[in-house]
Structure 1
Amino acid sequence: MNINTRQLQAFLAIARLGSFTRAAEETFVTQAGLSLMLKDFEAQVGARLFDRTTRSVRLTPAGEALLPTARGMLADWDRATSNIGQLSAEAAQQVSLAATPLIASSVLPQWLNEFRLVQASTRVNVSDLDRQQILLGIDAGEIDLGLGAFFKPASGIERQLLATFPMVRVSPKSGSRTLAGTRTRPASAGKRTAWAEFAGQRLLALPIENPIQKLVDAQLRGLAVAPAFSGALQNIQAIIAMVEAGHGVAALPGFVLPACARYDVEVQTLVNPVVPIDFFVVSRKGRQKTELATELIDDLGRHFRKLSQLTVA
C-alpha cells in the first residue's frame, strides 16, 4: 500500500464538504485530478468510499469506517512534521564547538562573550577535548566544528585555515628565581629571540610523539642546537606554569599568548628562522553548514587573526 498525504487530504475534504467541486478548490487541484487521486486511493483501500450522484456525495459504510483512521493518520503526520520543523529551527540556532583544553580555557571565553553580543539568541556548546577526540567527534557527527593545530589532513575531515602563528619562546620574567635560588638568565630585550638561544638551556617539552614537539625537535636538530631537555609534560598549561616557577624555558605555538598572560612569563617570537604553525577549524566533509556555523567560522577567523598579529614582531 502506497497511500500519501495528498490522498488523505483529498478524501477528508470530500467527506467534510460533500462536494468534489469545493474539495478540488480547497486542495488546489482540478476535479479530474481529484477524481484520479480518489480512484487510486479506493483501489489501494480495496473499497468504494463515496456514493456519488448528481446532487450529493456521501460516504459509504467503508468510507465511514475509514474516516477516523484517516483523520488520525493526517493529524499524526502534521504533528511529526511540525516537530521536525521545530527541531530543525532549534538546530539552526546552536552549534557544538570543540577545542583543545588550552584554547577552550584561554581563548574561547573572551571570544564567546564578544560573539554573544551580536548573536544573543544563539547557543554555542563548547567542549574541551584533545585533537584525536575532536576528529572522532566530528566524524561521528557529534561535533559540528573543532579547533586546533591539525598538522595533517584526515579522511572525511575538512580543514579551513583560521590563522597562522609563529613559534614562540616562553621564559620566566627577568630576575625570576629557580627553586635552587639562582637567578635565571634575563630574557632577551624586545619581542624576538633566536632558536640558538635554547643552547644549553633547560627546555620543558611535550611528549616526543606530540606533533608540536616533533616540529620543535626537528628545528633544533637542523640548527645543531642542543638544549638540556627537562622531562615531558602532557599539558601546555602545565609547561607554562613550570616556566613561571623557573624550571626551564619552552618553545610553543604563538596561540599560547592568552594563556601566558595569566602567568609571570615572557613571550618572544622565535626567529632565524620564523617557524609557522597553521591553526584550523575542522568539520565533517560533505556536511552542509548552517548559516550560524558559517557566521561562527568567520568570526573565529577574525578573532584568531587578531591574536596571531600580537605574536608577530
Structure 2
Amino acid sequence: MQVDLRHFRAFLTVARLGSFTRAAAQLHVSQPALTVQIRQLEEALGLRLFDRNNRRVLLTASGQQLVGPAERLLAEFDGLVRDAGDLSARRRGVVTIAALPSVAADLLPDVLRELSTRHAGLDVRLHDVVAGRVVEMVKNLEVDFGIGSLDRPDPDLRWKPIVRDRLCAFVPAGRRVPRGGLSLEALGRQPLILTSRDSSVRQLVERTLARRRVAARVAYSVTYMSSALALVRAGLGVAILPESAGRAADTTGARAVPIREPLLTRDIGVISHAERSLSPAAAAVVDLLEAMVSRRRNGSPGTS
C-alpha cells in the first residue's frame, strides 16, 4: 500500500484530538474512511500507532516517536506549497538579466522602479554586458533572459524584438553642423570615438562603413558611453552612440545630431533560451519591459 501525505495528516489529527470522531469531523471525512486511512498507514509502516478502547485513543510508543517526523514532513510540504504559490503569484523569486549597457542605463531603471512597486518580493540581478556576452550568458543558462541584439537567427535562442534603437552622432555642444544632421561620409572625415569592437554598436558602424566604402579614422575606442561622451566634451572627436545615450548619460557639453544617409538602427529585443520557459518572476519583468517600451513609444508621461 502506497501512503501519501493524506495518511500522515490523518494520523496527526487523531493524535492531537485523541478521537477518531472529532478528527473525522475536522478532516471532513467519515469516521470509517478515517479508520481505513490509519489502518493503511499502520500496515505500510508495519507499526501499531494507536491503542484504542471504548473511551479514548492513545498513541503507542511507536506512534509517539512518529509524531515529530510527521509534523516536520507536513510543515515542509505546506511551506513548499506556499512558496510555489508565491512564485506563481510573482510575490517572490529571483530574476537574472543580461542587458546591453545602453538598455541597462536608459530603459531598465524605469522598469525596475515599477517592478519594485508591483512585485516588491522579487530580487533582480542585472548584468550590463556587450551584445556577444548577452547571447553567451543566455545560451549558458547564466541568466533567465537577455535584452540585446542578434545579428542572425540562432536555433538555440528565442528572439522577440521590442524596440528599434537609432544611432546618433554626439558632437561638442558648440559645434555647428549642417541642418538635417551628418552623413556617414561626413562622419568619416572626423576623428571617431566608438565603443569597443565586441559591442553591437561598433559592429553595426563598421559593417555600414565597409558597405558604403567609407574610410574612417577611429581615434578612440572606449568601453563605456560615459567615457565616449567625456572625450566628445573635451573636443577630441565625434562619438557614434545609441540615441538613448542622451537620456542615460551626462551629455553636458555634448549634443546629439542625427545621422542621415543612411540611418543607422539596430533592433533590440528579449533573448531567451529556446529550451527553457521563463519563470513567472522573469515573465513579470518582461511584461513590464514591453509595457514601458509601449508607453515611451506613445509618449505617455512618467516614462522619462
Shorter chain as normaliser: what TM range? 0.7 to 0.9
Are 2:202 and 1:213 aligned?
A: yes
Equivalent residue, structure 2, for 1:201: 190
Deviates more, 1:275-284 or 1:120-129: 120-129
CA distance in 1, matches of 2:296, 2:284: 18
1:89-120 per-position Cα deviation (integer Å, ceiling 9, x unaligned): 3862565555344443455445555x279538
Equivalent residue, structure 1, for 2:256: 267
CA distance in 2, matches of 1:10, 1:83: 18
1:64 deviation in Å? 1.6
Which one-letter code corresponds to 2:40 in the other structure? D
Which one-letter code corresponds to 1:43 in the other structure? E
1:281 deviation in Å? 3.4
CA distance in 2, matches of 1:254, 1:67: 71
The TM-score, its normalising length taken from structure 2, stands at 0.76
Native 8 Å contact 2:99 2:129 kept in 1: yes
Which one-letter code corresponds to 2:11 in the other structure? F
CA distance in 1, matches of 2:156, 2:103: 24
CA distance in 2, matches of 1:296, 1:147: 13
Which one-letter code corresponds to 1:214 in the other structure? Q
Deviates more, 1:147-156 or 1:225-234: 147-156
Residues 1-313 of structure 1: pairs in structure 2 closer than 5 A: 3-52=3-52, 55-56=54-55, 58-59=57-58, 63-81=59-77, 83-84=79-80, 87=83, 89=86, 92-93=91-92, 95-109=95-109, 112-113=112-113, 115=114, 119=118, 121=120, 125=124, 127-131=126-130, 134=134, 143-152=143-152, 157-175=157-175, 186-190=176-180, 192-259=181-248, 261-283=250-272, 285-290=276-281, 292-302=284-294, 305=297
Which one-letter code corresponds to 2:252 in the other structure? Y
CA distance in 2, matches of 1:124, 1:33: 45
CA distance in 2, matches of 1:36, 1:219: 78
Which one-letter code corresponds to 1:33 in the other structure? A
Equivalent residue, structure 2, for 1:178: none
What is the root-mean-square deviation in Å for CA atoms of aligned residues? 3.5
- Percentage of identical aligned residues: 23
Gaps of 5+ in 1: 176-185, 308-313
1:267 deviation in Å? 0.9
Rg larger in 1 or in 2?
Answer: 1
CA distance in 2, matches of 1:302, 1:9: 50
The TM-score, its normalising length taken from structure 1, stands at 0.74
Which one-letter code corresponds to 1:288 in the other structure? S
Would you say how many aligned residue pairs link Structure 1 and Structure 2?
291
1:69 deviation in Å? 3.0
SS of the aligned residue for 1:287 comes to coil
